Copies of this chain bind each other. A is one copy, B any other.
Amino acid sequence: MAMKATRAVQRILSNYEADNPGVKGNLCRMLMTGKLGGTGKMIILPVDQGFEHGPARSFAPNPAAYDPHYHYQLAIDAGLNAFAAPLGMLEAGADTFAGQIPTILKANSANSLIPSEAPKDQAITASVDDALRLGCSAIGFTIYPGSSAGLEMFEEISQMREEAAAKGVATVIWSYPRGEALTKDGETAIDIAAYATQIAALLGAHVIKVKLSTDHLELKEARKVYEGEKIDISTQAARVADCVKSAFNGRRIIVFSGGSKKGADSVYDDARAIRDGGGNGSIIGRNTFQRPREDALDMLGKLVDIYRGKA
Please list the residues of chain A having a beta carbon within 8 angstroms of any beta carbon in chain B.
15-19, 50-51, 53-57, 60-61, 63, 66-68, 86-96, 109-118, 121-127, 129-130, 133-134, 145-148, 150-152, 154-155, 158-159, 162, 177, 179-182, 191-192, 194-195, 197-199, 201-205, 219, 221-222, 225-226, 229, 231, 242, 245-246, 248-249, 251-252
What are 12 contact pairs spanning A and B, CB under 8 A? A17-B93, A18-B95, A19-B91, A51-B198, A54-B219, A57-B221, A113-B182, A114-B151, A117-B180, A123-B151, A125-B202, A126-B162
Bound: A53/B222 CA distance, A: 8
The answer to whether A88 touches B125 (Cβ under 8 A) is no
Bound: A252/B66 CA distance, A: 12
User: Distance in Å from the Cβ of A54 to the closest Cβ of chain B?
Assistant: 4
Given contacts A17-B95, A55-B195, A91-B18, contact A115 B146 (CB under 8 A): yes
- Minimal Cβ-Cβ distance residue in B for A158: B125
The answer to whether A225 touches B88 (Cβ under 8 A) is no
Bound: A105/B54 CA distance, A: 29
Chain B residues within an 8 Å CB radius of A204: 87-88, 91, 125
Q: Among the listed B92, B124, B145, B203, which residue makes an inter-chain contact with A251, where contact means beta carbons less than 8 Å apart?
A: B92
Chain B residues within an 8 Å CB radius of A180: 115, 117
Chain B residues within an 8 Å CB radius of A125: 154-155, 158, 202-204
